[in-house]
Amino acid sequence: MFAQNTTEFLKGRVVEESPDGEVPLPGANIYWKDTSVGSSSNADGFYKIERNKNSNTLIISYTGYQNDTIEISPKQKKAHVILSSSVSLQEVEVKSRLKTTNIGYMNPIKVEKIGEGELHKAACCNLSESFETSPSVDVSFTDAVTGTRQIQMLGLAGPYIQITRESMPDIRGLSAIYGFTYTPGFWVESIDLIKGPGSVINGFESIAGQINVNLWRPATMDKFYINLYANEKGRLEANVNLKTNVGKRWKTALLLHGKSGQKRHDKNQDGFMDSPIGTNLIGLNRWEYAIDGGHIEVGVKGTWIDQTGGQMDFNANEHLHSSSIWGMKTKTKRLEMWSKTGRVFADKPYQSFGLQLSGTYHDQQSSFGLKQYNATQKSFYANYIFQSIISNSNHKYKVGASFMYDDYIESLDLLIVNRLEYVPGVFVEYTYNWNDRLNLVAGLRGDYHNAYGFFMSPRLNLRYLMTEDLVLRLSGGRGQRTAQILSENIGMFASSRELIIQGDGSDKPYGLDAEVAWNAGINLTWDFELDYRDGALSFDFYHTRFQNQIVVDLDSDVRKIMFYNLDGESFSNSFQAQVDYEL
């Protein structure tokens, strides 16, 4: 005869009331009165505590909040707890040990957040190296000529990923290949990875996903930080981060980066440098102004890069545009300015607005052997967002308008391409929450491109809480982008192939159609606890199908590089299984 141990548990969630609905309280203490049996709530406020036959009185406590005492009936299995603040604090600093990579539990859009701890594990000398420990992003070298790294997500190359800096456009256009070197790794506080089309608020260009980079801000960074690096290959690097307060409301931060590598290497003895030599100088200054119920930020960033590659004996002063010794020379000057303004209405705390503005000037002068590629880009971006609720906080909406302007001048030998693109657009996004079990975000954009005309971008993200530890997410939507066929394939200029653009002769960029794709995905995430440590098991499947894609044809003729619109099918399937557990 055997005895069966049937341990019973009480489950629930600890939250506080706010104007926008219930907010989880992580780390709340839950215990049975007059016993030593207790537990604590996780990052999303959920808890699970073993039943105790000696007590039916549950006590919940949380720093800064009034304790709550609840009588639990013997058959009760769940208890939802709402705590009230017991004291008003001017400023509270809470420090805790967070996961180095975290997946938001409540967000309908699956956001994988790479935190400071995970970034420290990577080589992290520039942005591309920050993904080396992330299984969601593949990192590889494009070629030894440019020395740049290329990333992939869902089996698609980097240009199909919308890359933003704090939700504003960053790496796009002429910076598509070199842009990852413009952000030093020591400037990055965290990175948000989103697979699939994401939200309509951030624009229409996301096809494979979105990477949003958050840089150090005066409110979160150390007052002074310096990092120096040198290796046996002659690489020297310095990073300096500074912050200070100016008056009572202004805060400012200065981020500086310098890199120099002048030593030439040829380990495989093929007569060519293994990687380019040169100098990088990058600086950023940002200011933040705090007002009651609002926030204002302005910033400026400058980038200067000088690179040389090619044969070991190449000297740019002597051999540039020469047929005797092959070499590569690139000089880049880039200036970026931006501002962000946000405010919450005091009489209606559930309403707020935000305005984002940014401008970029990019100048690039390049030589690849006898080929010369020069290009400039002038860009302006504006995005206005208004947020409120419908009836209650379970029904939220965001509406807004955006404007994007790009002026390009490109010349490749005798080929000169001048093009102007401007895209005004409007968007609406609705968020629904049902008992924290079912959440959806449905969005729709309408944009007008001066060359491609009017188009709409619907997007949908859904989350369903199957159990307290198991979450199902579905996503789908449309993305569209202009293929920058020259700057995105700059490494090919090292060859002697003839470049052929099979456009239709229209005013469309390069005479080619826009790249359009639909993306659909499913994700299943299970949070577990093992040996008092949290872990997560996640399964992803995404399907991307192109309605039109620009084909880069290197196979039809070994003497040519041909670009033309897709005539046929093009799709990508991506499956990923991932386990996250900190030892």
Tell me: do 45 and 166 sit in the same domain: no
483 shares its domain with 406: yes
With a cut of 50, say whether residue 4 has pLDDT above it. no
| Assigned token pair, 94 | 């809470």
Looking at 54, 83, 112, the residue that finishes a domain is: 83
Which span out of 85-99, 182-196, 414-428, 492-506 was modeled with the highest average pLDDT? 414-428
Would you say residue 92 lies in a domain?
no
Q: Please, which residues bridge with residue 18 across strands?
A: 21
Residue 222 lies in domain: 101-581
Burial of 223 from C-beta contacts in 10 A (0-12 / 13-18 / 19+): exposed
Same domain, 41 and 112: no
- Would residue 545 count as lying in a domain? yes
What are the pLDDT digits (tens) for 421-448? 999 999 999 999 998 889 999 999 999 9
| Residue 76's pLDDT band (cuts 50, 70, 90) | confident
Same domain, 74 and 144: no
Whole-angstrom distance, CA of residue 146 vs CA of residue 259: 16
| CATH number where 538 lies | 2.40.170.20
Q: Tell me, yes or no, whether 4 lies in a domain.
A: no
Taking the C-alpha atoms of residue 188 and residue 285, their distance in angstroms, rounded to an integer, is 14
Domain-embedded: residue 342: yes
Is 53 inside a domain boundary?
Answer: yes
One domain, residues 68 and 164: no
In a domain, 2, yes or no: no
Domain's final residue, options 83, 110, 133: 83
Confidence band, pLDDT 50/70/90 cuts, at residue 492: confident
pLDDT at 100: 66
Give the whole-angstrom CA distance, residue 388 versus residue 107. Answer: 18
Q: Which of 469, 470, 581, 583 is nearest to 535 (CA)?
A: 581
The residue type of 513 is D
Residue 39: beta bridge partners? 30
Q: Which of 83, 116, 136 is the last residue of a domain?
A: 83
313 found inside a domain: yes
**Whether residues 79 and 123 fall in one domain:** no
Q: What is residue 5's predicted lDDT score, i.e. its pLDDT? A: 45
Residues 153/161, Cβ–Cβ less than 8 Å: yes
Across 247-370, the runs of DSSP E, i.e. the strands, are: 250-261, 277-291, 294-310, 327-344, 352-368
Model confidence at 2: pLDDT above 50: no
Together in a domain, 50 and 135 = no
* Concatenated DSSP letters of 282-296: EEEEEEEEEETTEEE
Asked whether 358 and 28 are in contact (CB, 8 A), the reply is no
- Residue predicted with more confidence, 73 or 215: 215
Element containing residue 121 per DSSP (H, E): helix 116-121
Is residue 122 located within the same domain as residue 69? no
Residue 116 within any structural domain of the chain: yes
Q: 112-157 pLDDT, tens per residue?
A: 888 877 777 665 677 877 787 778 888 776 666 677 778 888 889 8
- How far is the C-alpha of 426 from the C-alpha of 402, rounded, in Å? 6
The confidence score (pLDDT) of residue 290 equals 82
Check whether residue 508 and residue 462 sit in a common domain. Answer: yes
Query: Which pair of tokens denotes residue 332?
Result: 């880049």
Tokens for 230, please give them: 């040198």
Q: Please report which confidence band the pLDDT of residue 3 belongs to, taking 50, 70 and 90 as the band edges.
A: very low
Per residue in 202-258, pLDDT tens? 999 999 999 999 999 998 899 999 999 888 888 899 999 999 999 888 999 999 999
Domain total in the chain: 2
* Euclidean distance between CA atoms 61 and 39, whole angstroms: 11
Confidence class for position 282, pLDDT limits 50, 70, 90: very high
Residue 292 burial class via C-beta count within 10 angstroms: exposed 0-12, middle 13-18, buried 19 and up: exposed
Q: Identify the CATH number of the domain in which residue 48 sits.
A: 2.60.40.1120
